[in-house]
A and B are shown apart, each in its own frame.
Chain A
Amino acid sequence: MQFHPAFRVEKEQRLIFDGGAAAPAEGAAPVAEITEAQKKQANEVMGALKADPDAAAKIVEFKVEDADKDAQKFQEAFHSALEQSADAFYKSLTEGTEAEKVKKVNDVFQAAKSPVSFKFENGKLVAVAAEASKGKKEQPQLSPEDEQRLQDALTSFPKDIRKTAEQIMREILSDPKMREATVTFSRALGNLSPEARRYFDQNAATILSGEKLAEASPQLSKRANAFMNKVGLERAVATSQVRKEIEGFWKELGPDGQALAKKLVARTQSALAEESNNLSDEERADKLDGAKKWLLDKKFDASKASEIDKNLVLAQLQMRGIDTNNAEEIFTDPSKMKVFEGSPMERGFNQIMGLIGYVLLSIEKMKGMLKPGEKTDTGKGAEKTPEAQKAAEVVTGRESVRKMLKESQAQNLTKLIGEREKTKAETQKKIDGGNDNTNGLAKNLAAAKGRQAEAEQEVKTLEGGKDNWAKGEEKTKNEKELADKKKILTTVVSEVADLQQQLDREQATTTRLDAEIKAIKDVQQQTLAQVKAMRETCKACEIKLKPFVGKDWATDMLFEVLPDLVAVAQDELEIALSFGAGQKHTINEFLQAWDALGGDIAASGIDLETGTLKDPSVFMQQLESLVSKVTDQKAMLKERGFLIGPDGEIDFSRVTNKQLADEFETIEKLVPNGDLVRRFNQVLTDRIGSGLTTENEPLFRALVRTQIAALKETDAMDAARYFAQNNLSIRLDTDRIFVAAFTQDRAAEELQKAGLSEYIQNIFKRIKGGHSIRLF
C-alpha cells in the first residue's frame, strides 16, 4: 500500500490512502509507513551497522544533515504559506495605490505579530525577511548612519573580498567592545614611526596574528629586496628599533585589541584561502589606472585639506589596493602611485585595514572624537607637524564667519569704550575746569561755600550787636544792612546748593561711565579670548570665493576691522579670509561672488562707490546669511540629483540632457543664483550648438518653451497669428512648431518678423526645413 501525504480531504483533515484501504479511525495516532526507497536505504544502513557499529558516527552525521534540510523545508513552507496569505489579502484590497496597499498588508500582519514583512515584487507580495526566516544567521544591525557609512565605503572596495570585509566591519561596528578596540588599534598604529609603519603594512598578517617576528635574515632580505626592486618597492626590514616598536604596538593594543587583531587575521585568511598567486601585470595596471582616475576625478587638493581628510583619501586608496606609504608623493603626483604587493593574504588584509580605517575615520570625523594633539591614524598621512595635528578638527566656512563677527564685535566694543571715555573726559572737565583757566564746578562750589561762610559771619556779627544799636537813624541803617546781608546769604546758600547738585550729578556720571567702561572692557576681553580660541581651531577654515577680473578698491576701514588683512600694493588690499596663509581675494572679487551667489550687494555693508565698509556688523551678518543660503542651495541641488564637485559647483559633465532639460525651466525659480542660471544656459546652448539631434532634442524643447513663455501674451498671440497667416503651422497651445518648405535662413527671417528673440532665431537656424518639433 502506498501512502501519499499529499492526498487528503482538507475539510476532514484525514489521510486518504490510494489503493483502497480504509482511513484510520478518528482519534488514532498516524501510522507512518516508509517507501521502498527508504526501506532500501534503511537496509543498507542496518547492514553497515551490523558489520561495524563504529560506522554509526558517519551514519548519524548523515541523519542529522537530512533532519537539518527537512527542518529548513518546513520553515520555508510556513513562510511561503504566510506569503501566500499576505498576497491574497493584498489582492482583496480595492482602494489605494500599490504602496498604500502594501503598507496596509504590513500593518495588519505586524499587528498580528507576523515574523516577516512584505514587499511587492513581480506581480505579487513576497516576504522581505525571507533570508532571515530561512534560518540563516542575521547580520548585526547598525545605526542608519553607520549603515550608510559602511555602504559608501564598500563601493570603493574590490568585489572579491567585499563580503568578508562587510561582515568584519558589521561585527566591529555593532559591538561596542570591538569598536573601542578598533579605536585603540588606530591610535597604536598612529604612534609607529614611518619605518615601523612600513614594516607593519608589509607584515600585518604576521604581526597581528601575535606570532613572533621573523629574524631579519640577510639572505631573506636580499631575496625579498630583489623581488620588491623588480616591482619598484623596497621591502621593510625588521631592525631592532622596528622590532621594539612593533612589540610596543602589540602591548599597547591590550587584550581586546589583540583579540580583534587575531580575529581580523583569521577571517581574512579563511576568505582568501583559495586566492591565486601574486598580481599579474594586467591586474596591477588595472588597479593603478582605476585608483589614479578615482583620485583625479575627486579633484582633491591636499594642500588645503585637513589631516583627517587626507587620511580618508589614503584609506580609500588603500582599499583599492594601493601602497600608500609615499602619501605626499601620491598627492602631488598621482602617477607615483604603486600597487601594494604581496601574497593574496597580505594584499587582502591591507585592503581590509584600509576599510576599517576609512569607516573609523569617518565616524570620528563626524563625532569630533579626534582631539587636537591626538595622534590617531589608520592611514599613512604626511609627516605630521604639531600644528597640523592640532588642526585635526573639521571646521566650516560658517565658523570662519562667526569668528570674523566676534572680531568685529571686539572692534565695536573698542568704539563704545572710546565714546564713554570721551564723555567721561568732558564730564571731568566740567568738574575740574579746563586748561583755558575756566573754573570747574568743584572750584566754583568751594568759592561759593567760602562766600556763604563770609555771609553767615557777617549776619551773625550784625545780629550779635543788635542790642547795642542806637535808636533812630543808626538803627534803621543797621537793620537795612542786616536784611541785605541775609538776602546775600540766602542767595549764596541757594547757589551752593545748585552747585553741589551739579557736582553730584557730574560725579555720578563719571562713576557710571567708569563702571560701563569696565564692563565693556571685560566683555571685550572675553570676546578677544573667544576670537583667540577660535583662531587656534580655525587655522585652515575659509570661505571659498570665485576669482574674477575687475575694479579693485581700497578700503581703510576693512583694514581696521579685519586684523589679518594684508596690504598688498598701493591702494589695493586683499581680504585674507583664511586667517593665515591661504586664499586671498580682492574686495570686488568678493562682491562678484556675493552677487553670483544671490546675495544683495546693496545690503552687504560695503559702500559700492568707494569700496569702503560702512558697517562691519552688517557685513558679517550678511556674509553668514549668504553662507547659510549657499549651503541650503547646494543641499537642494543635491536632492534634485545634481552632483556637486569639491569646488562647490555642479559637475555638469555628469548631468544628462534629460536632467538638464527637466531642470532648466525651474532652476531659476528654485535657485535665484544668477551665475548658476548662466551656467545652465551655457551648458544647454553648448550642447545644442552642434545642431539638433535626437539626443539633444529635449534641450531644444526646454529652450524654446522658456523663450515662448517669456513672450508677453500679446506677442505670443501675434506670433501665432503671423505663423498661421504665412502657412507656418505653429500652434502655441499644442506647442508644435512646424517649419515647412522653408530654407533655414527664411525660417529665421520669418521668426524675426514674428518677434521671437534673436537668441531663439539662432536656435531655429539649426533646424532643417521640414523638421517638426513637439515642444511638449
Chain B
Amino acid sequence: MPNPPSAAGIPAIPAAKSGAEIYNSIMREIEPELTTDQIPLMKEKYKDETPEQKKARGERYAEAMEEYERRYAAYLQEQDAKVRSFKIGAIHFVENKASETDQQKLLSIESSFNTH
C-alpha cells in the first residue's frame, strides 16, 4: 500500500553568511579584540604598551586563536550535519511527490474499474 502523501515541503536552505560574519560570531565569544571591527583599533590602543605587555598580549591572542580553531572545526561539523539533513529532507520530499503521482494514477485506475 503506498504511503499517504506528506504535507512536508522542501527544507529551507540556511541563509548564506559571509566569512566575516562566521568568524566574528565565533571569535567574539573568545577574544573580542580579535574581531574584524576591533582589529583596526589595535595599533592606537596599544601604541604605548611595554614589551612585556606585548608578549602577554601575544600569548593571549595565540590561545584565543587555538580555541577559535577548535570551535571553527565544530562549526564545520554542524554545517555538514545540516547539509546531510537537508539532503535527506529533500529526498523525502521528492519521494512523497512521486508517490502522490502514483496514488493519483492508482485512484484513476480503480475508478475505471468501478465504472465497468
Interface residues of A (CB under 8 A from B): 5, 10, 13, 29-34, 38, 42, 45-47, 49-54, 56-57, 59-60, 63-72, 74-75, 77-79, 81-82, 84-86, 88-89, 92-93, 108-109, 112-115, 135
Contacts and interface: CB of A to CB of B under 8 A. Distances in A.
> Considering residues B18, B77, B94, which has the most beta carbons from chain A within 10 angstroms of its beta carbon?
B94
B98 A92 contact: yes
B54 A53 contact: yes
16 contacts: A10-B84, A32-B71, A49-B58, A50-B62, A53-B57, A53-B58, A57-B42, A67-B18, A67-B20, A79-B13, A81-B86, A82-B13, A84-B87, A109-B10, A113-B9, A113-B12
A42 B66 CA distance: 7
Given A5-B77, A46-B66, 6 more contacts: A30-B74, A47-B62, A50-B59, A53-B42, A60-B23, A93-B101
Contacts of A75: 13, 16
A341 to B, nearest CB: 44
B22 interface: yes
A56 B42 contact: yes
Contacts of B78: 30
A85 B83 CA distance: 13
B96 to A, nearest CB: 10
A735 to B, nearest CB: 44
A67 B19 contact: yes
> Considering residues A5, A64, A66, which has the most beta carbons from chain B within 10 angstroms of its beta carbon?
A64
B61 A56 contact: yes
A88 B92 CA distance: 11
Contacts of A42: 65-66, 69
B98 to A, nearest CB: 4
A221 to B, nearest CB: 48
Contacts of A33: 73
Given A50-B62, A63-B68, A65-B19, A112 B9 contact: yes
A67 B23 contact: yes
Contacts of B101: 92-93
Contacts of A29: 74
A626 B19 CA distance: 66
B108 interface: no
B106 interface: no
The 6 A-B residue pairs with the shortest CB-CB distance, nearest first, are A68-B19, A67-B19, A85-B90, A32-B73, A46-B62, A112-B9
Nearest to B100: A108
Main secondary structure of the interface of B (DSSP, over half): helix
A82 B94 contact: no
B13 A69 contact: no
Contacts of B13: 75, 78-79, 82, 115
A91 to B, nearest CB: 9
Contacts of A112: 9-10, 93
Interface in B3-33: 9-10, 12-14, 16-20, 22-23, 27
Contact of A88 (B36, B76, B83, B94): B94
Given A49-B62, A53-B57, A74-B79, A32 B70 contact: yes
Contacts of B57: 53
B44 to A, nearest CB: 12
A135 B20 contact: no
Contacts of B83: 74, 77-78, 81
B37 to A, nearest CB: 11
Given A30-B77, A60-B36, A77-B83, A50 B58 contact: yes
Contacts, number: 143
Nearest to A51: B58
Contacts of A78: 13-14, 83, 86
A51 B69 CA distance: 19
Contact of B87 (A30, A45, A81): A81
Contacts of A63: 19, 23, 68, 72
Nearest to A6: B80
A237 B40 CA distance: 48
A54 B19 contact: no
B54 to A, nearest CB: 6
A30 B70 CA distance: 11
Given A42-B69, A56-B34, A92-B98, A69 B19 contact: yes
Contacts of B82: 74
Contacts of B14: 78
A114 B10 contact: yes
B49 to A, nearest CB: 9
B91 interface: yes
A54 B43 contact: yes
Contact of A32 (B10, B42, B77): B77
B80 A5 contact: yes
A776 B42 CA distance: 83
A78 B55 CA distance: 44
A66 B81 CA distance: 19
A57 B39 contact: yes
A113 B68 contact: no
Contacts of A86: 94
Nearest to B31: A56
B54 A85 contact: no
Contacts of B98: 89, 92
A71 B24 CA distance: 14
Contacts of B39: 56-57, 60
B34 A71 contact: no
B58 to A, nearest CB: 4
Nearest to A47: B62
A145 B5 CA distance: 43
> Considering residues A50, A65, A114, which has the most beta carbons from chain B within 10 angstroms of its beta carbon?
A50
A186 to B, nearest CB: 39
A85 B23 contact: no
A19 B14 CA distance: 33
Contacts of B81: 13, 30
Given A67-B22, A113-B9, A53 B80 contact: no
B22 A45 contact: no
A71 B76 CA distance: 9
> Considering residues B36, B39, B46, B58, which has the most beta carbons from chain A within 10 angstroms of its beta carbon?
B58
B9 A85 contact: no
A501 B1 CA distance: 101
Contacts of B63: 46
B19 A52 contact: no
A54 B42 contact: yes
Given A30-B74, A82-B90, A108 B65 contact: no
A51 B51 CA distance: 11
B75 to A, nearest CB: 9
Nearest to B17: A71
A5 B57 CA distance: 35
Contact of A71 (B18, B74, B84): B18
A57 B68 CA distance: 15
Contacts of B91: 85, 88
A47 to B, nearest CB: 8
A114 B89 CA distance: 13
Contacts of A89: 94, 97-98
Nearest to A73: B79
Contacts of A53: 42, 46, 54, 57-58, 60-61
Contacts of A114: 10
A64 B9 contact: no
Contacts of A82: 10, 13, 90
Contact of A45 (B65, B72, B76): B65
Contacts of A32: 70-71, 73-74, 76-77
A34 B43 contact: no
Nearest to A111: B9
